[in-house]
Amino acid sequence: KRAQWLRAAVLGANDGLLSTASLMMGVGAVRKDSKTMILTGVAGLFAGACSMAIGEFVSVYSQYDIEMAQIERENNVLANDLESKKEKLPNPLQAAVASALSFSVGALMPLLGAAFIKDYMVRLGVVIGVASFALIGFGWLGAVLGGAAVVKSSFRMLFGGWMAMGITFGLTK
């Protein structure tokens, strides 16, 4: 169960990192001032964290409802056994908070990296650099948690991230 939560946290952080960095790159393609780029990243952080939290809450609560209905259909569950089974079910609020927090951690990486850099080209380079290192790290962590090949997973994550940032930058340029 713990590995599932850690894996979900890595994926949430990766989503926050990649969507925020891509938004910043896309806006950076058309607006060279740092204020616009940073505000876009902050808006992306808040919107993404809320979206992830609500999506996770609804998803986990739906799973909870389905499992509770199944338990009630069995009809032969004793009161103590029912409480025991309820405790084993995932907590929707906990899942929502974890999802929002992990997204926010990922989103903060490119934001903090670029926040104090005035030069346009350096700022874009920092966003790409910070995102690249974090993508490799998330790929490594995901591989370790899942028992997969570390190098392959890290490079897959890195190239996928570069594609997302490059496409976003290119389409808005």
The whole-angstrom separation of Cα 151 and Cα 139 is: 8
Range 142-150, long-range pairs (CB < 8 A, 24+ positions): 142/7, 142/10, 142/11, 142/14, 145/3, 145/6, 145/7, 145/10, 146/7
Residue 86: what pLDDT? 73
Residue 75: what pLDDT? 67
Residue 2: what pLDDT? 63
Residue 79: what pLDDT? 60
Q: 87-109 burial by CB neighbour count: b if 16+ within 10 A, else e?
A: eeebebeebbebbbbbbbbbbbb
pTM of the predicted model, to two decimals?
Answer: 0.85
Residue 6: what pLDDT? 76
Please give the tally of structural domains in the chain.
1
Residue 77: what pLDDT? 61
**For the chain, how big is the Rg over CA atoms in Å?**
20
For 60, the domain range is: 2-172
Residue 146: what pLDDT? 82
Residue 62: what pLDDT? 94
Instruction: Spell out the residues 6+ positions from residue 152 whose beta carbon is closer than 8 angstroms to its own.
Output: 143
Instruction: Spell out the residues 6+ positions from residue 3 whose beta carbon is closer than 8 angstroms to its own.
Output: 145
Collapsing DSSP to helix, strand or coil, 37 comes out as: helix
Of 104, 125, 132, give the one whose Cα is nearest residue 47. 104
pLDDT tens digits in sequence order for the chain, 173 residues long: 666 677 788 889 999 999 999 999 999 999 999 999 999 999 999 999 999 999 999 999 999 899 888 877 776 666 666 677 777 777 889 889 999 999 999 999 999 999 999 999 999 999 999 999 999 999 998 888 888 999 999 999 999 999 999 999 999 98
